[in-house]
Structure 1
Amino acid sequence: MDVLSDVIAVMRTGRPRSARVEWRAPWGQRFPSAPGSAGFQMILRGSAWLLPSDGPPVALSAGDVVFFPHGHGYAMADSPSTPVAEPGCDPYTDEDGLFASASIGSGDATTVLLCGGYRLDPSRAHPLLRDLPELIHLPAGPGSHSGVRAAVELLGAEIHRPGLGADTVVSSLLDMLLLYILRAWFTAEHGQCEVTGWAAALADPAVSAALDAMHRDQARPWTVAELGARAGLSRAAFARRFAALVGQPPLAYLTWWRLSSAGRLLRETDAPLSEIAARVGYASEFAFANAFKREYGLAPGKYRRTACPASPEARLPART
C-alpha cells in the first residue's frame, strides 16, 4: 500500500457514519467536540455558515467541503446571527446505522448537508494526521477537486435513495471520500512556496520515494543504503534529508510503523504471532515479541487480550 492508504487503514477503526440532512431556515446547530474522531460537512444544496470555535464565521456554498481531522467542535447555521442549538447532526447517535437521512425545520429556504465522521484510534496516531490543521476547507470551483466532487455526488445520492448493497457502497464511498479530501489537501500544500511537516516530506521526491518503498514492502529487511538508492541519494545525504523532514531516522520510523501495523493485526485478526511477525518484517517470533514489548510495554499476546493496550504514540519522536 502507498503511504496515505496505509496510514488511513491503520488509523481508522470501525465503520464510518454519515447522514444527509435537509435544514429549513432558520436553523443553527452545534456539533460538539469528539476527540478520537474526524468529521466532515458538505454542502449539497443551498448555502450555510460555518461557525468555528475560534475564528470568524465562514460562508459556505454548494459544493464546499469542510473537514475536521481532530474532532474539534463547531457550529453550522443559515446565518451567523441565528442562535445555535444542541446537539446537531451526529452520525454516531445510531451506533448500528451506517447512514441516515432527515429533514429538520419548516421554512422555505432549504440547505442540504451531508455530514459524517470516522473513528480514529489514538493509540496509532500517525504524525501525518497530527500535522493536519484543525480545519480543512475545500471550496467549490470550476474543475477543482474533481475526485471529492464525484464521491460527494455518489454518496449523497446513495444515502438519499439507498439501493441494493447500500451498506457496502456507502462504506466504500466514505473511505474514498476521506482519501480524496486528504489527497486534495496535500496536493494543495505541495503547491505552496513553503511547506512543512509531512506535507513537505510527501512533496520531496527523494523522501516520498523512500516512504513509499517502506509502506509497500514493510517486511523487506531495508537498509539505509537501499532506501537511499530508492531516493536517488547517497546513504548519508538521504539519512539527513529524511530525518529533517520526517523527524526521525529512516529505520526508526520503519520500526515504529511495523509495530503500529502489528498492533492493528493483533487487535483485528486472529493470525498467529509467527505470521504477524513475518508480515511486518521480523525473522522470528522471538525477535518480534521483544521489539513489540519494548514499544508497547506489553507482550503481543497480552496486548491482544487487553481492551486498552499501552500506546506506542508517546514513544514516537515528535517532528521538529
Structure 2
Amino acid sequence: MNDLDVLAELLKPIRLISVFHSRWVVRGPWNVQGDDDHCAVLHYVLRNSCYVKLRDRPPILLRRGDLAIFPYGTAHTLGDGSPGPTHPLRHLLPERRLGESAIVRIGEEGALTELMCASLNYDPGGEPPLYRSLPPVFVLGKPELDEEPLLLRTLESLVPETERREPGSPLVTLRAFEMVFVLALRVALQNLTVDSPALRALAHSGVSRALSAIYGEFRQPWTLDLLAQRAGMSRSSFAKTFRDLVGEGPALHLTRRRMQEAVQLLTYTKTPLSSIPEMVGYRSSVGFHLAFRKILNDTPGRYRAHHGLAGGPPCNHDS
C-alpha cells in the first residue's frame, strides 16, 4: 500500500445517513453564526457572493459558483462581510428535521445573494481515523469545479432536484449530496498541502510504514513493538513520533481503525456478531466488546439495533 493508498483509505468517504438542506435568499447587511457539530456542511453560491469566517481566521470570499465544504462542521459565520449584528442560525431555523428542507430569507433591500446549503449527516462512529486532519474548511472555486465535470454536473443538478417533491426525491437528493461530498473530498485530498497533518505523517518514512500496516493489515495482531519494528524505529522514538504527527498513540489509532471497520460491518451488512471480532483483528469477543465500548460508548448489539442498515443519530448543525 503506497502513501496515496493510505491517504485515500484514511479519508475514505463516509456514507451519508441523512441531509437537511436549505435555500438561502438574502439581502444585506446580513451575518449568521452556526455552531460546531458532527455533520459535514456545504455552501454553494448560486448568485452574488458572501464571506465565511472561522474563529481566529481571516474571512474567505465565496463567489458565484464556489463550493465550501466543512468536513466536520466547524463553527463559522456566513454573511456579506458587513460589521452589522450577527444572528444565531438556530433562531432562523429552529426546526431542522432530517430529510427535510427550508428556505431562509433575510432582508428586503440591497444586493441579492442566493445559496444552497446543507448539513450532511454521517455516523460519527464510522468516521475514519485522521479524518479530522482535513482542514476545517476547503473551498473549490469555479475554475476548479470546471475541471471536475462530474462534481460540477451533480452540483448543478442538485439545485432543481432539491425543489422536487415526487416519490423517491428525498433518497435521490441524499445520494446526490453524497456524490458531491465524495467528489469534493477527492479533490481536497489531491490539493492537501505539506502543512496538512496527514501528509506530515505520511512524509515520515517510519510512521508511514506503520500507517500502512494499520490501515492495510489491521487484522494482524499488532503490538507497539511490532509496529516499531515495521517502522524501523526504537519503541520509544516510534511512540513519541507517531503521537506527535498523528495526534494519538499507535494503539489507539489501530483501535479506531478496527472500530471503523466494525461499524461498517454492523451498519451495512448482516454479518453475525460472533464473526465480527476476528474479522477486525480481535482474538476474543471480550477484547472486541471492550474496545467497541471504549471508542463508541455502546455495545455492538445495541449499535446494530439502532444503526443497522438504516437510521442514525440526528444532526444538530445549524445549516
TM-score normalized by structure 2?
0.68
Give runs of aligned pairs for residues 73-88 of structure 1, distance below 5 A: 73-87=75-89
C-alpha contact 2:21 2:116 (8 A) present in aligned 1: yes
Q: Deviations along 1:42-93, whole A, 9 cap, x unmatched?
A: 1022212334443343322111122233433333233424443332697783
Worse-matched range after superposition: 100-109 or 151-160: 100-109
Distance 1:114 1:132 in 2: 23
Residue 289 in 1 paired to residue 295 in 2? Answer: no
Once residues 305 and 213 of structure 1 are traced to their aligned partners in structure 2, the CA distance between those partners, rounded to angstroms, is 28
Query: Match for 1:280: what amino acid?
Result: V
Q: Is there any run of 5+ residues in structure 1 with no aligned partner, and where?
A: 229-233, 308-320
Percent identity for Structure 1 against Structure 2: 25
Once the 2 structures are TM-superposed, how far is the Cα of residue 114 of structure 1 from its aligned partner?
A: 0.9
Residue pairs, 1:57-76, within 5 angstroms = 57-76=59-78
Note the alpha carbon deviations across 1:185-244, whole angstroms, 9 max, x for none: 221115xxx34421345678998898678657855x4879xx99xxxxx9454996x958
- 1:109 corresponds in structure 2 to 111
- Is 1:185–2:188 an aligned residue pair? yes
Matches within 5 A, 1:38-49: 38-49=40-51
Give the counterpart of 2:157 among 145, 154, 175.
154
Distance 2:20 2:204 in 1: 34
Q: Residues 101 and 282 (structure 1 numbering): CA distance in 2 closer, same or farther, change over 3 Å?
A: same
Report the counterpart of residue 315 of structure 1 in structure 2.
none
- Residue 56 of structure 2 corresponds to 54
The answer to which of 243-252 and 54-63 deviates more is: 243-252
Q: 1:87 to 1:255 in 2, by over 3 A?
A: closer
Alpha-carbon distance in 2 for matches of 1:135, 1:58: 10
1:184–1:94: structure 2 CA closer, same or farther, 3 Å change rule? same
1:1-320 equivalences under 5 Å are: 3=9, 6=12, 8-9=14-15, 14-23=17-26, 25-87=27-89, 93-101=95-103, 103-107=105-109, 109-119=111-121, 126-141=128-143, 146=148, 147-190=150-193, 194-201=194-201, 221=220, 235-237=230-232, 243=242, 246=246, 253-263=253-263, 265-266=265-266, 272-282=272-282, 287-294=284-291, 296-297=293-294, 300=299, 304=303
C-alpha distance in 1 between matches for 2:214 and 2:96: 38
What secondary structure, in the 3-state scheme, does the structure 2 residue paired with 1:141 have?
Answer: helix
- Whether the 8 Å CA contact 1:51–1:58 is kept in 2: the answer is yes
Compute the displacement of 1:274 (Å): 1.3
Q: Which letter maps to 2:14? A: I
In 2, are the aligned partners of 1:39 and 1:117 still within 8 Å (CA)?
yes
Range with greater deviation from structure 2 (125-134 or 149-158): 125-134
- 1 CA distance for matches of 2:40 and 2:138? 11
Tell me how far apart the structure 2 counterparts of residues 113 and 88 of structure 1 sit (CA, whole Å): 18
Report how far residue 172 of structure 1 moved.
0.8
What residue identity is the alignment partner of 2:87? A
> Would the alpha carbon gap of residues 271 and 115 (structure 1) be closer, same or farther in structure 2, given more than 3 Å must change?
same
How many Å apart are 1:5 and its aligned residue? 6.3
Q: Distance in 2 between matches of 1:91 and 1:209?
A: 47
Amino acid at match of 1:197: P
Task: Note the C-alpha offset of 1:115.
Answer: 0.8
Determine helix, strand or coil for the equivalent of 1:174. helix
The secondary structure found in structure 1 opposite 2:117 is strand
SS, match of residue 185 in structure 2: helix
Unaligned runs of 5+ in 2: 307-319
Counterpart contact for 1:101–1:159, Cα < 8 Å: no
Compute the displacement of 1:118 (Å). Answer: 2.7
Distance in 2 (alpha carbons) for counterparts of 1:87 and 1:247: 32
